[in-house]
Structure 1
Amino acid sequence: MFVQDLPPEEQVESAAARVRPLLLEKEVVFYGTVFKAIGFFLRGDGHAGRGEHFERLRAAWRAIDPRGTGLHAYNMQVAPLQDGQPEAAASSVADNQLAFAWLYGDVVHHDLERLAATGIAGVRERYRAAAPLVCRVMIHTVSTLRFVELLASNGLLPVPRAALDAGVVVTDPLMRQHARVFVADPDVDPPRLPVPGQAPGAGWTLLLPPTGPRTADQVPDVPGPTAPTGSSD
């Protein structure tokens, strides 16, 4: 028995959404545009290793063909059976077609042409082909980033430091924000909005004024996991 243990589909969908712009010619991060720019700055660079790595990496990207009908790893054949024998010639579809049909037919668009061309397989087989493809594109993306970082560190590529340091993922989805909320009378013209950093003027009323020893400038800490979730304010 041949067994494939693939990641959950929603994880691959998320990854595909991240790397998909590198495959689209209209996007500024399209791999072809990126390598054209890298090639420009590497003109005259006599380092053989950098040149060879550049060509290998670009060739790996070019092998990712969203419209390709050739296979990467396998070809799928399906034929209807009658009494255990094929009734007709088998229909054939390559894994590359299945993979991009999943991406553009099942996930980000509803490409009827791609879905019709892979209809013999169904979404399960399309996903089976897509998961390795998305992983391959992820590997190429990370490899390209590392190459860009290497060139930038050697002064061969003018990449702003901020572009390499900018955050691109949310690591903590629990949003915490200490604030005081002010409301105004909805039946009259809204009062002037306060200047950032200054207290609201006339027409604004503090919602749920603090009680007890607290002052208006004190905000309670976020409750711990075992503390009550209510508030005395």
Structure 2
Amino acid sequence: MTSPAIQIGRWWYTLDEFLDRAERVLSSEIARREDLATVGTTMKLIASVLDGAVRWSIQRQVPREADIESAATRVRPLFLQDDPVFYGKVTNAIGGLARSAGNEHKATIKALKEAWRTFDKSYRWAVAVSKEPNFTAGQFRNDRQIARDFLYGDLVHADADARQRLANISPEERLLAAVVWVADATRLTLATKQLIVDLTDAGALAARPGDTT
């Protein structure tokens, strides 16, 4: 049976590893954007006049593919269960170290855990795909699924099945889904880091083994 001191030490190791990873995530070009809170989710409606007729078009600002790839690579370990900074391990470590925290902090921890757990289900839009024989008519792919396939089946890694699922998805839709995915993951990383800082400042985390300060 693991002693309390050893378990606390393991939790602190997880948080230290996460904070190191968070610094890398938050140093990406996308993380430093002033519009991080809205990138990929806002649009401009442009009006132009041609031959006396008003024509409307929608314009979205999407970061460079290289910036999306960099951000996707940096957040990747947070979603790998075998990685020491897997989000489930990190949130469990926070909860374990913050058992003496007040109700407000505990509610924030619970909400953070839920946000990570439901990340892939929190999609914004979906597109219909019906290319046979791989897809049946009326089947939909949401932006989270498209982003996963594009980022980790085509851009960062090579996965033939993922690329096949992208066959009917336009390059613009792939990039749009990807930027929303990495921006959401980056914001969630920032929120997790800030919670650790707040808990530390409040003295709500169990002391490190051997820490007598």
TM range (shorter): 0.5 to 0.7
Give the 3-state SS of the residue equivalent to 1:77 in structure 2: strand
| Counterpart residue number, 1:73 | 124
Work out which of the residue numbers 14, 26, 40 in structure 1 matches 2:82. 26
Work out which of the residue numbers 119, 133, 140 in structure 1 matches 2:188. 140
- Does the Cα contact within 8 Å between 1:71 and 1:94 map onto a contact in 2? no
- Does the Cα contact within 8 Å between 1:99 and 1:133 map onto a contact in 2? yes
Offset from partner CA, 1:16-44 (integer Å, 9 cap, x none): 11111111111111110011111111224
Using the TM superposition, give the Cα deviation of residue 157 of structure 1 relative to its aligned residue in structure 2, in angstroms.
2.9
Work out which of the residue numbers 102, 106, 119 in structure 2 matches 1:64. 119
Q: Which runs of 5+ in 1 are unaligned?
A: 81-87, 161-233
- For residues 107 and 203 of structure 2, what CA distance do their matches in structure 1 show? 19
Offset from partner CA, 1:175-212 (integer Å, 9 cap, x none): xxxxxxxxxxxxxxxxxxxxxxxxxxxxxxxxxxxxxx
The reply on whether 1:104 has 2:152 as its aligned counterpart is: yes
Provide the aligned C-alpha RMSD in A.
2.3
TM-score, scaled to structure 1: 0.57
Using the TM superposition, give the Cα deviation of residue 109 of structure 1 relative to its aligned residue in structure 2, in angstroms.
0.8
The reply on whether 1:42 has 2:93 as its aligned counterpart is: no
- Does the Cα contact within 8 Å between 1:12 and 1:134 map onto a contact in 2? yes
- For residues 141 and 113 of structure 2, what CA distance do their matches in structure 1 show? 27
Give the 3-state SS of the residue equivalent to 2:58 in structure 1: coil
Q: Which runs of 5+ in 2 are unaligned?
A: 1-56, 209-213
| Counterpart residue number, 2:63 | 7
Change in CA separation of 1:62 and 1:133 when aligned onto 2, cut-off 3 Å: same
User: Percent of aligned positions with the same letter in both sequences?
Assistant: 32
- For residues 143 and 113 of structure 1, what CA distance do their matches in structure 2 show? 33
Letter in 1 for 2:194: R
Change in CA separation of 1:42 and 1:130 when aligned onto 2, cut-off 3 Å: same
- For residues 100 and 122 of structure 2, what CA distance do their matches in structure 1 show? 37
Give the 3-state SS of the residue equivalent to 1:26 in structure 2: coil
Larger RCO: Structure 1 or Structure 2 (Cα < 8 Å, ≥ 6 residues apart)?
Answer: 2
- For residues 144 and 187 of structure 2, what CA distance do their matches in structure 1 show? 17
| Counterpart residue number, 2:198 | 150
Offset from partner CA, 1:104-156 (integer Å, 9 cap, x none): 11222111122212211144322221110100000000110111111122333
Give the 3-state SS of the residue equivalent to 2:127 in structure 1: strand
Give the 3-state SS of the residue equivalent to 2:62 in structure 1: coil
Higher helix share: 2
Give the 3-state SS of the residue equivalent to 2:151 in structure 1: helix
Letter in 2 for 1:16: A
- For residues 182 and 206 of structure 2, what CA distance do their matches in structure 1 show? 29
- For residues 151 and 162 of structure 2, what CA distance do their matches in structure 1 show? 10
- For residues 189 and 122 of structure 2, what CA distance do their matches in structure 1 show? 21
TM-score, scaled to structure 2: 0.62
Would you say how many aligned residue pairs link Structure 1 and Structure 2? 148
Deviates more, 1:110-119 or 1:70-79: 70-79
